[in-house]
Structure 1
Amino acid sequence: MTDPKDKKVFVKTYGCQMNVYDSDRMADALATKGYKPTEQMEEADLVILNTCHIREKAAEKVYSELGRIRKLRDAKRDGGKGDMKIGVAGCVAQAEGEEIMRRAPVVDMVFGPQSYHRLPDLLDRADNGDRVVETDFPVEDKFANLPKAKKEVTRKRGVSSFLTVQEGCDKFCTFCVVPYTRGAEASRPVAQIVAEAERLAEAGVREVTLLGQNVNGYHGEGPDGKAWGLGRLLFRLAEINGLDRLRYTTSHPRDMDEELLVAHRDLDSLMPYLHLPVQAGSNKILKAMNRQHTYDDYVRLIDVIRDVRPDIALSGDFIVGFPGETEEDFEDTMRIVREVTYASAYSFKYSPRPGTPAADMKEQVEATIASERLYRLQELLNQQQRDFNASKVGTTMSLLLERKGRDEGQLVGKSPWLQAVHVQASEELIGEIVTVHIDNIGTNSLFGTMIEDRTTIGTPLHNQAEGLSI
């Protein structure tokens, strides 16, 4: 029998950055029950799959993984090494709670992303023999009920950290399951976010990425009792000593307001990198997706953003083969990519998500046609990424050193534009922001030489125009 003080938990995380954040907070909650993280699934007393419903065949991949875990659990039992509880969390759990229990008897707990603050209580029920399904949207604030991570635990997680500020979405894009798995838009209070960011900074975190399904729709209660937007929140976080870099993701074009643009203009700590999905270039397809913007709306917004922050790099999301997409519609997507140009992007073939309006649409595009279009789009996007990376050769930039590289004496850091940069540097410099000269590029990263003078070179010159027009 495992000593209660030596219980171990293995969390496998699928999907988005918010799931990474959620997995860390699950570990924090389980620490109150004596659980310590392990990287070896077979030695765990508790295994949690933190799932994502965005990718194709997400649920089937979970069931396949559960089959493998069942064999590990049986081997552990047969070898007299104790038991293994199994939980499924996240968006697949939220969408298919009872079905998971029916199809996978090995599972002890199923709980959605709004319930993981209850994990210690759910585990108690499972230990008492209950098969637990918890997929309600609770009234209480889960963030207020989560334990604070210990400083030494936060420090081990690195010098960059995620911080969820907003959850859910009210946009109801016809292809998306988020409104059904994460619920309506909800924003954390400013004071709660600031307190967590201050704890991160005290633990040595230098860079924070604010997370939300629609993060620039943030509207949390400020200390003045009024709703604050994301721009105002960023200005407040920029005041925290030691927190030198700020980012946020994922955004919707409809919620890029003037206050947020001013933050991009005036805050040097807000990195010049913006993930702003357009999804498609055809107005017909954008309307069918319920994106609430047009080709021209998006391009005009990009022009304003680049006028405000000329050095900004853009990232995007694209779906090809959406129901009803013709070759002409696809060419509109290729056209907007050529017009905007992206430093990086995520692109996928459309695949139906049960329960979403698009799943019932007629004119589903043949898989072979969608695959061919995706190949052409990715060829263009990959070339744009290579061109962007090549444009940095011969320049100097600030670099946050984050971890050891594969080669002896090598560290890997993150550029302001979210590129991985390899340099020769002492391990003692992890957590430092240094200046590097970029010498050459690899397939997906840059290689540079550290400059002894650590003052930042090439600080962006912002457009100081008083008024902004979106």
Structure 2
Amino acid sequence: MARYHIETYGCTSNRGESRQIERQLRDGGHHPVDGPENADVAILNTCTVIEKTERNMLTRAKELDEETPGDLVITGCMALAQGEEFEQAGIDAEVLHWDDVPEHVRNGECPTTTPDADPILDGVIGILPIARGCMSDCSYCITKRATGKIDSPPVEENLKKARALVHAGAREIRITGQDTGVYGWDDGERKLHVLLERICEEIDGTFRVRVGMANPKGVHGIREELAAVFAEQEKVYNFLHAPVQSGSNDVLGDMRRQHNVEEFVEVVDTFDDHLDEWTLATDFIVGFPSETEDDYQQTLELLEETRPEKINITRFSKRPGTDAAEMKGHGGQIKKDRSSEMTDRKMSVVGAVYESMVGTEREILIVENGTDDSMVGYDQCHRKVAIPGAESDGVERGDFVTCRITGHNTVYALAELA
């Protein structure tokens, strides 16, 4: 039986892949150890979303190659999209698809279930990858080379996994995927809303469900159905992550994002119609090669119009093998200036949201320990709330508590138990 050490970088979906790898390893009788120096095999689950991340992955792979006395296995998006980079860097490792990692480590051994083979992440947060891949062909994205087209397991299979998570102790289920909005598309019908409704109505227990990244095009076709499920099912967080990337249709066309600005706004308007209060999360890429000053101003205008409460801002970086890498780009200063200005706008919008919460009472699901004696959780809109002193008051992860919002720190609220 092998001792393994695993490190995961990147998105929640990647973390879900690592949990699946770990569960299969534990089912095979293998067990985790602290630190690569104590492992028979070290596993690096990589990300490659931007150039800086790629450099960090190569650096960490070299370090693990030196620190691990046993084998090194590299998987994840960079491994699948740019596996040759590791060999060229002189790193001695097996580069494998996520699905192939457990079998490689097990080396043909028969699975033997062990008591610690549970699917829970961080105690009360369960990760549920509902599908792999997407239906997009973005000109700047290298991850597509790793994940391929959407591959959707049946609703019944994902329902079974969600039930297992709840029975194992999950109080928050995070539904993940490269694009959750197109779940079921490969079978001819988008089924995200169907899956959510069945999880909420057919699984007993007290828990919440958060929907992970869903591209606007996929959501647009089921926006009415999806928003209705959000409104009707209390177990679903009123939270949607729909990355628009630009406020200019010209740039979206060059990005091959499939949606346009009007469709994104229609999604937002539909959720506004169905929900009194909800969180819109989105992503913007600044400094795309074809982004003019006017295009950039349109993006700022879209930010102000839709007022997303969670915003990820990324400066464009060329990814090898993508079509956008062949385009003549902007200098670093332009990208830096635009990113800085947009970040200031972001902080203003987000800060205003948390300021509006002050004085209200909220039911919070506690999911993690904070600093010192505080506990951290989320309200119905998946807004982050820290409660100083809650640990001393006996609050534990997985508890639902009522609290009064007393202040904020721009990107999260502060509260006291009611």
Given that 1:404 and 1:427 are in contact with CA atoms closer than 8 Å, whether structure 2 keeps it comes out as no
Give TM-score scaled by structure 2 length.
Answer: 0.91
Does 1:119 find its partner at 2:86?
Answer: no
2:265 to 279, 299, 303: 299
Given that 1:189 and 1:220 are in contact with CA atoms closer than 8 Å, whether structure 2 keeps it comes out as no
Query: Which has the larger displacement, 427-436 or 301-310?
Result: 427-436
Q: How does 1:125-140 map to 2 (within 5 A)?
A: none
Distance 1:366 1:164 in 2: 38
Given that 2:207 and 2:235 are in contact with CA atoms closer than 8 Å, whether structure 1 keeps it comes out as yes
Partner of 2:326: 360
The alpha carbon displacement at 1:334 in A equals 0.5
Partner of 2:217: 254
Partner of 1:21: 16
Structure 1, unmatched stretches of 5+, are 74-82, 128-144, 452-470
Q: CA 1:152–1:250 in structure 2 vs 1: closer, same or farther (change >3 Å)?
A: same
Query: Which has the larger displacement, 434-443 or 28-37?
Result: 28-37
**What is the DSSP-based 3-state SS (H/G/I as helix, E as strand, rest coil) of the residue aligned with 2:357?**
coil
The alpha carbon displacement at 1:56 in A equals 2.2
**What is the DSSP-based 3-state SS (H/G/I as helix, E as strand, rest coil) of the residue aligned with 2:138?**
coil
The CA RMSD over aligned residues, in Å, is 2.5
Partner of 1:326: 292
The alpha carbon displacement at 1:235 in A equals 0.5
2:384 to 397, 404, 420: 420
Partner of 2:308: 342
Q: CA 1:405–1:435 in structure 2 vs 1: closer, same or farther (change >3 Å)?
A: same
Distance 1:266 1:419 in 2: 19
**What is the DSSP-based 3-state SS (H/G/I as helix, E as strand, rest coil) of the residue aligned with 2:281?**
strand
* 1:244 aligned partner, one-letter code: F
Partner of 2:241: 275
**1:31-52, CA deviations, whole angstroms, 9 ceiling, x for partnerless residues?**
2443322342332222111001
Distance 1:294 1:280 in 2: 9
Does 1:233 find its partner at 2:195?
Answer: yes
**1:47-78, CA deviations, whole angstroms, 9 ceiling, x for partnerless residues?**
111001112233322221122223323xxxxx
Query: Which has the larger displacement, 92-101 or 376-385?
Result: 92-101
Given that 1:344 and 1:384 are in contact with CA atoms closer than 8 Å, whether structure 2 keeps it comes out as no
Distance 1:263 1:151 in 2: 34
Query: Which has the larger displacement, 330-339 or 413-422?
Result: 413-422
Distance 1:301 1:411 in 2: 34
Give every structure 1 segment of 4 or more consecutive aligned residues whose post-TM-superposition deviation is greater than 4 Å.
124-127, 145-152
**1:129-167, CA deviations, whole angstroms, 9 ceiling, x for partnerless residues?**
xxxxxxxxxxxxxxxx99989677345731121100011
Does 1:35 find its partner at 2:30?
Answer: yes
* 2:289 aligned partner, one-letter code: P
Distance 1:65 1:126 in 2: 29
Partner of 2:132: 167
**1:248-303, CA deviations, whole angstroms, 9 ceiling, x for partnerless residues?**
11111112213212212211211111111110011110111112222223223211
The alpha carbon displacement at 1:428 in A equals 5.5
Q: How does 1:310-325 map to 2 (within 5 A)?
A: 310-325=276-291
Aligned residues with identical type, % of pairs: 28
Q: How does 1:393-412 map to 2 (within 5 A)?
A: 393-408=358-373, 410-412=374-376
Does 1:103 find its partner at 2:89?
Answer: yes
Does 1:369 find its partner at 2:364?
Answer: no
* 1:406 aligned partner, one-letter code: T
Q: How does 1:195-210 map to 2 (within 5 A)?
A: 195-210=160-175
Distance 1:333 1:86 in 2: 43
Look at both structures and tell me which one has the larger radius of gyration over its CA atoms.
Answer: 1
Aligned residues: 411
Q: CA 1:22–1:327 in structure 2 vs 1: closer, same or farther (change >3 Å)?
A: same
Give TM-score scaled by structure 1 length.
Answer: 0.82
Does 1:191 find its partner at 2:156?
Answer: yes
**What is the DSSP-based 3-state SS (H/G/I as helix, E as strand, rest coil) of the residue aligned with 2:170?**
coil
Does 1:94 find its partner at 2:60?
Answer: no
Does 1:212 find its partner at 2:174?
Answer: no
Distance 1:365 1:41 in 2: 41
1:71 to 52, 66, 72: 66
Q: CA 1:377–1:150 in structure 2 vs 1: closer, same or farther (change >3 Å)?
A: farther
Partner of 1:138: none
Q: CA 1:329–1:221 in structure 2 vs 1: closer, same or farther (change >3 Å)?
A: closer
Q: CA 1:227–1:253 in structure 2 vs 1: closer, same or farther (change >3 Å)?
A: closer
Distance 2:231 2:359 in 1: 25
Distance 1:307 1:149 in 2: 48
